[in-house]
Amino acid sequence: MFDAIFLDCDGVVTNRQAQVDSHVVFEAYRLAHSGKKVAFVTGRSLDWFARSLIPELERLSPSPEERQRFFLVGEYGNRWATFSAGGLSTGSDDSHSISGHVRSLVRDEAGAHFPLIFFDETKESFISLEIRHGKLASPQAERNAQKQLDEARALFASRFPECTVVRTLYAVDIMAKGVDKASAARRALELMGSVSSALVIGDSSIDLEMGDELGRQGVKFDFYYVGETPPGRRSFTVRKTTAPYSEGALEVLRTVR
């Protein structure tokens, strides 16, 4: 049915507490075992892959052939990693990166005004301000953190109109124009090689850009949306799962053979 799987990470591979859902990783492994290519497509850094996702994959003891069917696309396609017989190979593209001057300004501003979010130093090509999950001791603290993300997005979108500023489940990302989920999907396709049909799972409106890019590349795909906010209209069908986030991703993945 599908020869490739495209998975967003935050809110799809991770749960509401930003922890990798081992059940989703198992389903990704199962599909790689069956011969499908699996791309994790995210704004997360290669450091995050190394700390959070790769250890979960390794616990399943994939064979060398199975490892080579996983593609790790980070920082919206500006960073990536693939497995080969020699181990993990990484790549980078700095042609669309945020300047050090803008990084410094945002770091100082965020530190002064948004105590529940932090500047993620692991992102090399763009800026990410993420919720301090360890500081959220109550539902009210979670709501306050989400409000600060909204305020940060509005502030920096106004301050830096030359950049793209997007709100995700846990973060605000500030990127150079031309860096988005479409560029990430394009990078995944370059790494995968031939793809004729794909399953795509995302949880935010920016994830729909993966579907836009696959359509432009002539790839047939089904898109499943696991977010809670309305995804908006697209030229393709967006299917909604019953459960949200990683639970919804499991709903879909368990039906794929």
Is the predicted pLDDT of residue 135 greater than 80, yes or no? no
Please report which residue ranges of 96-238 form alpha helices under DSSP H: 100-113, 139-159, 181-192, 208-216
Per-residue pLDDT at 71 exceeds 90: yes
- Determine the pLDDT at residue 16: 84
Q: In this model, does residue 108 exceed pLDDT 80?
A: yes
Residue 119, strand partner residues: 129
Residue 224: pLDDT band with limits 50, 70, 90: very high
Given a cut of 80, whether residue 46 has pLDDT beyond it is: yes
Mean pLDDT in residue range 122-149: 92
| Average pLDDT for 188-215 | 97
pLDDT at 134 over 90: no
Q: Which domains does the chain have, with CATH numbers?
A: 4-93+180-253 (3.40.50.1000), 100-176 (3.90.1070)
Number of other CB atoms surrounding residue 89 within 10 Å: 10
Question: What's the rounded Cα separation, in Å, for the pair 35 and 240?
Answer: 26
As given in the structure block, the two tokens for residue 57 are: 């994959």
Token reading at 173: 């990302």
Confidence class for position 11, pLDDT limits 50, 70, 90: very high
Q: Has this prediction a pTM greater than 0.85? A: yes
CA distance from start to end of the chain: 8
